[in-house]
Amino acid sequence: MVDGQIQIQNYNTGNSKNNWDLNKIKLKHKTICEYEYAKKDIQKGYANRTLYVNLSNGIIKEKKVTEEMKKLFTGGRGFGLKLLWDSIKPNTRWDSDENELIITTGPLCGVTQYPGSGKSLCLTISPSTDIICDSNVGGFFGPYLKFAGFDAIEIQGKAKEDVIIIIDGEKGKISIETAPLEETNSHMISEQLTQMYASENNDESKQKISIVSAGKGAENSYWGCLNFSFYDIRRKYPRLKQAGRGGLGSVLRNKKIKAILTKVEKFDGVSNNPADAETLAKVGTKLHREIRDLDRYQCNMRAVGTVHLVEIMDDYDLLPTENYRFGSFPKASKLYSPNFYKLFTKIIPDGCWHGCTMACAKTVDCFTVMTGPYKGEKVTVDGPEYETVGCGSNMSIWDPLWILEFNFYCDTYGLDTISTGTAIAFYMEMYEYGILNKKRCDGLELCFGNAEAVLEFMHRIARGEKSDFIAIASKGIRRVKDWLIKNKWGDTHIIEECGMESKGLEYSEYVTKESLAMQGGYGLTLKGPQHDEAWLIFMDMVNNAIPTFKDKAEALHYFPMWRTWFGLNGLCKLPWNDVEPRNNAEIDDPSKVPEHVQNYVDYQNAVTGWDVNKEELILQSERCYNWQRAMNVWLGRGRRKDDWIPYRSMGPVTVMEYISRKDRYDKNLIEKIGISDEKIEKMETEEKIKIIYDFRKDQYQKLSDAVYYRRGWTPNGVPTPEKMKKLGLKDTKMLKMLQDKIVKDEKAGLNNWGGNYKNKNEKPNNGIKYW
């Protein structure tokens, strides 16, 4: 026993008990359609088929996974992209009948020997962005989907009434049943269905079930997340992990799906049937030891999860406060990790899939809910993670207990904490400037720090209230910007530049003003400003390891490709670089964690029986990355203008922001722009802001130029047919579409570099039509 660990039999969460009449609830189910399938073993990480379900016409069928599909798309997100390409149209929108919700696994998903191997990758056309959104998530669903027989599930169409989809790997049967009486909110329906569908009333049976759901918030907003359950035998309770970004949960509820349930007959350490179990065990054991020995001296993920980042971000002026105006705040120490550590239940292990020694999935049990429909009940809160705490800071709310309440309701309502928190922070700033006010906010005083108003706003969304403000504000920053501008309620510049969204998606919680590379890490992305493509702040801003445009472009090529790879395989990114070998910083390219990269080469080969090297891992990603960008182009976006970011993420929008970091910005004017000390002394702040504004915007254009060039795209950000062919992607429909779009851009004069170059040799390339 580890110090502080509680024996399973002695632990009781102390949560409130629910007394449902589950028989009555189940009796109300009507089976709409059923489909029986042959059960088969997994072969070298693949089930070799995907599952297609159409809710409009009741068609359920299997689709074969070919060797060609594995070669070109690897698995996971790659398979999802291929399935989407074959099923949607360029004018498909999030609520179109043909839009799909896809949940994929990946060949390494379900392995228990290597930490972090239980992730699912979900895809859809997002309500926020009108392009593909992908989001990864832990919990048991992905591995169970595969062990039940499928590498992915693809759901098209819409049901007429609320349904659940059941994938029964025990019986080899898929069914769609109406579900009129189940709760919608996730912490309730996950528990109901776990109890209802467990073969026997014991932990072992309950552990063989996993549920995907989204709550009332998802139903009534564009911020819907998907909650994936994993039954915790210590807490005797299905806990939740979220596929947060891009409104996947909103699509689930738009299709009238209350839940998707997977059940397995059995699973164990060899269910994934690896080609070389011995090597797999060897590589896995090495990392288990490393985590055990080093985590406590490095990120301390096992004790506090990702919350350890709060104090670091605050120290380095990167923790967003008051809608990213500042990067640190005197009260921030109230949200430092020791304050959450005190609240976490100290039972270990705490992984979201079996075999994850990193075990970062923390909880607070027996939390007494303070507001809303569950007021007074005692519940388990999963998390919080760094991003959720960062939302508190961004709204200037400094109470750890309030963060737990916010986290609980976001999860059970199926609201993405990041989009919800970032958007409200923007509404608060607009409130401060009088652009929004109590009347325009439907009676809510949404000023910074008003914790009560935030929760009331969320409850109103969940209740489906339809006032102008709730209806528009629940669709996110982009729609609110348009609404404010249309009504002429404020200065367009302030509204556009302060609202932290790009492509329609809200930013995650890092201040990027002083890191150009990280600005690109948010803007030059496929789905929008989420840090899962590249997190370069320290490498760029502090270590100064990528000083030139070329260096930054290289990083913005390598890291997105590398991080994409996790999603192709069903892996969690955290064990790659949230623990590092003892000597990592002393070797070349420490930010890539080369020893761990080699682990992944050995790992993929051991499971699939392939013989790939580290360059081929990048190639696997590059194919899918370019495919997704090409699909975004096909959907009418994916160009330079779509990669634009608000100025708040580049520099100071307001005088107050400038003054708060005056020394830094004045130094910037002297060192980067060449203005003399004497001149600066005489300049008004507004004038200085304008000069920095023009300079930094130009820097971002130049960065975009360098990145597009490095990625092999046109100056307008379109992957070329030549690039696609080089990657082995020869789909004629796609190649023709890209060629047509490039010709159209050319005619419109859009194939030009965006930076203002004084010397033509500074451009990434001087050749006309270099592509």
Partner 1 sequence: MGIEVNGRKIDWIENESVSKLLKRMKYTFPLVVVKINKDIVLRSEFNNKIIPDNSKIDVVHMISGG
Binding site for ligand SF4 (CB under 6 A): 116, 138, 351-353, 356, 358-361, 572, 574-575
Nearer to partner 1, 230 or 522 (CB): 522
- Provide, rounded to whole angstroms, the least separation between the CB of residue 369 and partner 1: 30
Nearer to ligand SF4, 106 or 116 (CB): 116
Nearer to partner 1, 281 or 312 (CB): 312
Nearer to partner 1, 318 or 607 (CB): 318
Considering only residues 577 to 606 of the shown chain, the ones binding partner 1 according to CB under 8 A are 577-578, 580, 584-586, 590-591, 593
Q: Report d(CA 93, CA 131) in Å as an integer.
A: 8
- Provide, rounded to whole angstroms, the least separation between the CB of residue 26 and ligand SF4: 31
Using alpha carbons, select from 336, 412, 324 the residue that is nearest to residue 367: 412
Using alpha carbons, select from 167, 165, 135, 127 the residue that is nearest to residue 151: 167
State the binding partner of 99 from ligand SF4, partner 1, none, CB within 5 to 8 A by kind. Answer: none
Nearer to ligand SF4, 352 or 395 (CB): 352
* Site membership for partner 1, residue 300 (CB under 8 A): no
Residue 249 identity? G
Name the E strands within 246-323: 257-263
Nearer to partner 1, 200 or 588 (CB): 588
- Provide, rounded to whole angstroms, the least separation between the CB of residue 333 and ligand SF4: 25
Region near partner 1 per CB under 8 A, out of 249-257, 311-319, 421-429, 679-687: 311-319
State the binding partner of 543 from ligand SF4, partner 1, none, CB within 5 to 8 A by kind. Answer: partner 1
- In DSSP terms, which residues pair with 607 in a beta bridge? none
Half-sphere exposure at residue 59, Cβ-oriented, CA atoms within 13 angstroms? 10
Q: Report d(CA 35, CA 255) in Å as an integer.
A: 20
Nearer to ligand SF4, 164 or 593 (CB): 593
Binding mask 112-141 for partner 1 (x = CB under 8 A): ------------------------------
Q: Which residues contact 437 (CB under 8 A, 6 or more apart)?
A: 431
H/E run at residue 501? strand 501-502
State the binding partner of 359 from partner 1, ligand SF4, none, CB within 5 to 8 A by kind. Answer: ligand SF4
The CA angle 430-435-437, to the nearest 5 degrees, is: 90
- Token pair 């990669």 in the structure block, residue: 643
Between helix 614-634 and helix 549-569 the angle, nearest 10°, is: 90
Nearer to ligand SF4, 145 or 555 (CB): 145
Write the DSSP string, 392-420.
HHHTT---HHHHHHHHHHHHHHTB-HHHH
- Provide, rounded to whole angstroms, the least separation between the CB of residue 642 and partner 1: 22
Region near partner 1 per CB under 8 A, out of 39-47, 165-173, 538-546, 718-726: 538-546
Q: Is 733 helix (H, G, I), strand (E, B) or coil?
A: helix
State the binding partner of 510 from partner 1, ligand SF4, none, CB within 5 to 8 A by kind. Answer: partner 1
- In DSSP terms, which residues pair with 379 in a beta bridge? 367
- In DSSP terms, which residues pair with 381 in a beta bridge? 364
- Provide, rounded to whole angstroms, the least separation between the CB of residue 315 and partner 1: 5
- Provide, rounded to whole angstroms, the least separation between the CB of residue 262 and ligand SF4: 18
State the pairing for strand pair 378-382/237-243.
unpaired
Sign, CA torsion 478/484/485/486: positive
Give how far Cα 131 sits from Cα of 76, 477, 480, 717, Å.
18, 17, 19, 15
State the binding partner of 584 from ligand SF4, partner 1, none, CB within 5 to 8 A by kind. Answer: partner 1
Binding mask 662-701 for partner 1 (x = CB under 8 A): ----------------------------------------
Peptide bond into 115 cis (omega under 30): no
Nearer to partner 1, 401 or 545 (CB): 545
Between helix 549-569 and helix 685-711 the angle, nearest 10°, is: 60
Answer yes or no: are the C-beta atoms of 75 and 106 closer than 8 Å: yes
Using alpha carbons, select from 535, 507, 522 the residue that is nearest to residue 323: 507
Q: What is the total count of residues that contact partner 1 (CB under 8 A)?
A: 29
Sign, CA torsion 504/509/514/516: negative
Region near partner 1 per CB under 8 A, out of 222-230, 531-539, 610-618, 676-684: 531-539
Region near partner 1 per CB under 8 A, out of 62-70, 71-79, 530-538, 703-711: 530-538
- Provide, rounded to whole angstroms, the least separation between the CB of residue 243 and partner 1: 17
- Provide, rounded to whole angstroms, the least separation between the CB of residue 416 and partner 1: 16
- Provide, rounded to whole angstroms, the least separation between the CB of residue 577 and ligand SF4: 11
Q: Which residues contact 424 (CB under 8 A, 6 or more apart)?
A: 391, 395, 446, 454, 457
**Residues, the chain, total?**
771
Nearer to ligand SF4, 63 or 573 (CB): 573
- Selected from 144, 336, 535, 549, the binder of partner 1 by CB under 8 A is 535
